[in-house]
Amino acid sequence: MTLIIARALRSRTTTHCQPLSLRRTITTFLATLLLAIPATSVWAQPGAGWQTVEALAKKEGTLSLYHNLRPSGIEKLLSEFRKTYPGIKTDQMRLGSAPLIERFATEFSAGRNLADVVITFPDETMLKGVDNGGWALEWTPPELSAFKPEINRGNKMFAVHTSRNVIIWNKQRVKPADAPKEWTDLWDPKWKGKVAMDPPWRSIAVQGLIAHWSNIGLSDSAQKLKANDVRFFEGSAGVFQAVLRGDALVGTLADLPLEPGLVDGAPIGFVYPKSGTAINDGYVMVPAKAPHINAGKLFANWIMSAHGQAVLQEIGGLPSTRPGITPPKFIPATSSLSNVVDSLAISSSAQQAQAINTWREVFGIR
């Protein structure tokens, strides 16, 4: 398989491509037409019943979900949805919450809207986009009445599950007496080089955690962890796997992979420190410019139904926000934890940016 061919390369002036003006006009016209259609169907909503939404959704026939749920459960979630609403094809794209929001923002700005429904942990960008940027559709899902009012953000986003920051350790390598109990144990020198976490510039949950640390008087966390040779891994799943494998012995993460791992029998110990933890709600949102907006609404409503919430909890591993759903087997319900704070509430965007910058500087990133 040789790429070596004996030919000399000569250069000349380059050509440049012709502007396709006629084509551009036609495509813009068509694009506007296409965008107008879902817009009109949105305005058809008030007054029309849920049956209309269902009927329209079936006619649209397809749904595109952008999410950051566990990939090994997503197929099951979608197939349960399809069992309830046959005739709607589904496809999904999974990215970490930050890249997911990034992708959505890019597509939105470029006018290439492909997502019909989004489930993720929002960050500053997303909050801005949803609240003021026209990202989300404003509507009232029928299932909303079964939830506590706190989960509703301006009738645009609805919290469907909650993740909490937790400390874990490898039960096979760490003796019970040595097991960490509090956040401060993370920078205990006996774990030097064996602590795992997700870096704050990649995780909204960690940003909340850092803010919480500041609030309870644990300052200079970046320097302390750097001194302890903390290792960064990709996402909570990455941290979980790292501790499981023994790349690290203790770690902190958002507890998404915890329940499913424990169900599998993973030898992982965990603790939610008594000094409190930051939590992040995962929200569902239907984009205002979704190409199949009724299918999106149908899905969002379904995921908030009892059936949907049960499935979501099972495959997502996080406790449901809907009252009346049986809590997970291994991890405690949020209500039973002490000193719980909502990440979004405890830090402003300015504080977050500053914290990220500090961490970046300490660890020499960029």
Partner 1 sequence: MNRWTKQNTIAQHRFNFLAPLYALVFAAVALMALVPVLALVLGSLRDSPPGQPGNWTLENWVNLASPGVIDTLITTIQVACLTTIFSMILGTMLALIIHRTDFRWPNAMTGLLGLSFYFPSFILGMAWIVIGSPGGLINDLMRELFDIEANLDIYSVSGIVLVMVLHQVPFVYLTMRGPVLGMDPSYEEAARTSGASAFTMLRRVTLPMLSYALASSALLCLVMSLEQFGIPVLLGIPGRVTVLATQIYLLCRFPPTAYGLAAAIGLTLAAITALAILLQRRLASGGQAVVTTGKAGRITPIRLGAWRWPVNIFCGLYISMGLVLPTIILLYTSLIKFFTGNPLTAAYTFRNYISIWESEGTQLATLNTLLVSGGGALVGVMLGAACSYFTVRLKPTGHRVLDMLVMLPFGVPGVVLGLGLLWAYAYLPLPLYGTMTLIVVAYVTRFLPYATETAGARFVQLDRSLEEAAWTAGASRQTGVWRIVLPLSLPSLQSGYFLLFMAFFREISATILIFTASTSVLSVSIWSYFEQADWGMASALSILAMILMLGIMSALLWAMPGARQR
Determine phi and psi for 307, rounding to 5 degrees: -60, -50
349 binds partner 1 (CB under 8 A): no
Q: Which residue among 49, 61, 87, 111 contacts partner 1 (CB under 8 A)?
A: 111
Q: Which residue among 44, 75, 154, 219 contacts partner 1 (CB under 8 A)?
A: 75
102 binds partner 1 (CB under 8 A): yes
State the amino acid at position 128 in one-letter form.
K
296 binds partner 1 (CB under 8 A): no
Nearer to partner 1, 41 or 170 (CB): 170
* Segment lying near partner 1 (by CB under 8 A), choices 103-111, 160-168, 280-288, 329-337: 103-111
CB of 102 to partner 1, least distance (A): 6
State the amino acid at position 123 in one-letter form.
D
209 close to 279: Cβ distance less than 8 angstroms? no
Whose tokens are 């040779």? That residue is 229
Q: Which residue among 35, 72, 138, 348 contacts partner 1 (CB under 8 A)?
A: 72
Which three-class secondary structure state does DSSP give residue 278?
A: strand
Site residues for partner 1, 201-260, by CB under 8 A, read 201-202, 231-235, 237-238, 240-242, 244-248, 257
Angle at alpha carbon of residue 88, lines to 58 and 50, rounded to 5°: 40
* Segment lying near partner 1 (by CB under 8 A), choices 8-16, 52-60, 298-306, 313-321: 8-16
Please tell me the distance from the alpha carbon of residue 36 to that of residue 38, in angstroms, as a whole number.
6
Nearer to partner 1, 95 or 179 (CB): 95
Q: Which residue among 106, 140, 219, 338 contacts partner 1 (CB under 8 A)?
A: 106
- Strands 89-94, 195-197: pairing kind: unpaired
Which three-class secondary structure state does DSSP give residue 316?
A: helix
Nearer to partner 1, 100 or 151 (CB): 100
Number of residues that bind partner 1 (CB under 8 A): 81
Please tell me the distance from the alpha carbon of residue 160 to that of residue 284, in angstroms, as a whole number.
7
40 binds partner 1 (CB under 8 A): no
Please tell me the distance from the alpha carbon of residue 68 to that of residue 93, in angstroms, as a whole number.
8
